[in-house]
Amino acid sequence: MYSSGGEARDDLIAGGLDLAEVGARSALAGLVQAPDSLVIVGLSGYGGDYAVAVRQDSAYRALRDLAGRSLAVRRGSGCFAALAQWASGQGLDLQRDFRLVDLGETDAVDALLAGRVEAIAYWQPLTNLLVGSGRAREIASFAGATADPVFLLARAGYAGKNPEAVAAFLAAWADADQALAANPQGAAEMGARELAAQGLSLPAEVYARSLTTDTRGVWLTPEARQAAVDLLSAMQQDGAIARDASIDWRKAWRPDYGTRAQEMR
């Protein structure tokens, strides 16, 4: 279990993982850092579904109310970048106006419920599950604050030696997306049953609010590649990576695995 795509990316580079879902910013930073270690093989969507939540008994009603207060968010994550952009649009500076606490999702939930932080900003389904259980209240949603791609990454060495396994993974991901789009209620009921088996009882309707039905598919497209190129330039401009950083897209961008996956379906 990883608290951010950056952690999953680092484990890919270290050889602890073979495949992972990673936001574009973390993926591109990894390709700059370790260009021979990673390849982009597919898409899982665009943007992200994020929210700010406080304890159920909290007096805070809006993000602005939290100025000067503690806010848990995972630095370097897509959520962090989206929150910074969204807050800026409201005249707030994330670094200046809030006391940020860098925590993974499990530690953030514990800190919120124990009163060690006033709020958390995270991706779904975390905040929906907290709200649905009656332990927290959502005060802001910044879903869609960014439209950056979310990539499916593979460890380059693994993908090179196991192309059929990577293609099978993509085919299974595409099948799951298709099933979700065709029957979101059934998917929500299945998810609720899985949570119940882990000791968390929630109505399927609560779980359903955390599901997305992005029908653009998992296959790499020219539009997605251009979005990645544009984002790399933006990261250079805002100092997230060095201005002279570059990516060899011929090596990093691998739609051929998706082509093979489509033949398998």
Q: For 56-72, write each residue's pLDDT tens digit.
A: 999 999 999 999 999 99
The residue among 125, 155, 148 whose CA lies nearest residue 138 is: 125
pLDDT at 1: 64
* CB contact burial 223-237 (16+ within 10 A = b; e otherwise): ebbebbeebbeebbe
Residue whose entry in the numeric block shows the structure tokens 């990577």: 166
The correct CATH number of 5-46+148-180+216-264 out of 3.40.50.970, 3.20.20.410, 3.40.190.10, 3.90.230.10 is 3.40.190.10
Same fold, 5-46+148-180+216-264 and 50-141: yes
Across the beta sheet with 50-55, what order do the strands follow?
A: 99-101, 70-72, 119-123, 50-55, 136-141
- pLDDT of 156 higher than 50: yes
- pLDDT of 165 higher than 60: yes
- pLDDT of 2 higher than 80: no
Most confident of 7-11, 132-136, 159-163: 159-163
> Please, what is the angle between helix 78-89 and helix 24-33, to 10°?
120
What does the alpha-carbon distance between residue 27 and residue 23 come to, in Å, rounded to a whole number? 6
Instruction: Report whether CATH 3.30.750.24 matches the domain 50-141.
Output: no
Tokens of 181: 């789009």
Tens digits of per-residue pLDDT, 19-78?
999 989 899 999 999 999 999 999 988 777 789 999 999 999 999 999 999 999 988 777
What does the alpha-carbon distance between residue 253 and residue 15 come to, in Å, rounded to a whole number? 20
Percent residues over pLDDT 70 in the chain: 94
Determine whether 73 is exposed, middle or buried from the number of CB atoms within 10 Å of its CB (0-12, 13-18, 19+).
Answer: buried
pTM: 0.82
pLDDT bucket at 94, cuts 50 / 70 / 90: very high
Tens digits of per-residue pLDDT, 199-248?
767 778 777 766 654 445 799 999 999 999 999 999 999 888 999 999 99
- pLDDT of 140 higher than 70: yes
What does the alpha-carbon distance between residue 158 and residue 165 come to, in Å, rounded to a whole number? 9
pLDDT at 41: 98
Domain ranges for the chain, please list them.
5-46+148-180+216-264, 50-141
